[in-house]
A and B are shown apart, each in its own frame.
Chain A
């Protein structure tokens, strides 16, 4: 069974640009969550999508947005990039959500802002 796939693996952008990251969940998983990991920090929750609807949202500015398609694939968009957005962005999927079941992670997209 294929795991969670994130593309691209690495990305370099400059301040002010925007970026779109992609996540393909495990087949049959309808819940997709996004996390940001920065050095010395744990994983910070960005948002969760289930059946094409944003079901939960973390404490990030509106520059961070996402969407989910009918095949459960998800994209995350960050506009007006700042230096502090440099991080590892991780996507995780599960059959129906984070409560009571493990989420399975992709290997992440490493975003560097110059």
Chain B
């Protein structure tokens, strides 16, 4: 029972263009959503998050959009840079500090110079 789904395993974009990474969830109790970036041989690095009371959060080149009715979120990277090439994980948690984090399987982003 996969509660967080990243249906596309990979994405390739040209440097300077927009990268759009998608994520769907099934558990309506989730109220906090995060994106992590992971390079080989390193642990995941927190990128950006959004609470369910918002529908957009921006941090520099990274913007996360949340559509609660569709149970869908997306990460936009503008402009994409070769250093953004990595695996991106979508994650979600429910209310309460003791809620666990549930991850998607990840999507490999390749940014072509």
Which residues of A are interface residues toward B (Cβ below 8 A)? 4, 6, 31, 33, 35, 40-45, 48, 50, 55-56, 58, 90, 92, 96-108
Q: Please report which residues of chain B, range 63-87, place their CB below 8 angstroms from some CB of chain A when the two chains form the complex.
A: none
Measured between beta carbons, the chain A residues less than 8 angstroms from B97 are 31, 50, 96-100
Mask: chain B, 30-70; 1 = CB below 8 Å from A; 0 = not: 01101010000111111001010000000000000000000
Which B positions have Cβ atoms within 8 angstroms of A?
4, 6, 31-32, 34, 36, 41-46, 49, 51, 89, 91, 93-106
B31–chain A nearest beta-carbon distance, Å: 8
A106→B43 contact, CB < 8 A: yes
A107 in contact with B98 (CB, 8 Å) = no
11 contacts between A and B (CB under 8 A): A33-B100, A33-B101, A42-B103, A43-B101, A56-B99, A99-B95, A101-B32, A103-B46, A103-B101, A104-B46, A107-B41
What are the 6 A-B residue pairs with the smallest beta carbon separation, nearest first?
A97-B97, A105-B43, A99-B99, A42-B103, A102-B46, A42-B105
Apart from the given pairs A42-B89, A98-B99, 10 other A-B contacts in the complex at a CB distance below 8 Å: A4-B43, A42-B106, A43-B103, A48-B98, A56-B99, A90-B43, A100-B97, A102-B46, A105-B43, A106-B43
Which secondary structure dominates chain B's binding surface?
Answer: loop
CA distance A45 to B104 in the complex (A): 12
- Beyond A33-B101, A43-B103, whether A105 also contacts B96 by CB under 8 A is no
Residues of B near A6 (CB, < 8 A) are 43
Task: List residues of chain B with CB within 8 A of the CB of A45.
Answer: 100-103
Contact of B93 among A55, A99, A106 (CB under 8 A): A99
**A33, A40, A44, A99: residue with the most chain B Cβ atoms closer than 10 Å:** A99
Bound-state Cα–Cα, A102 to B97, Å: 11
B96 touches A97 (CB 8 A): yes
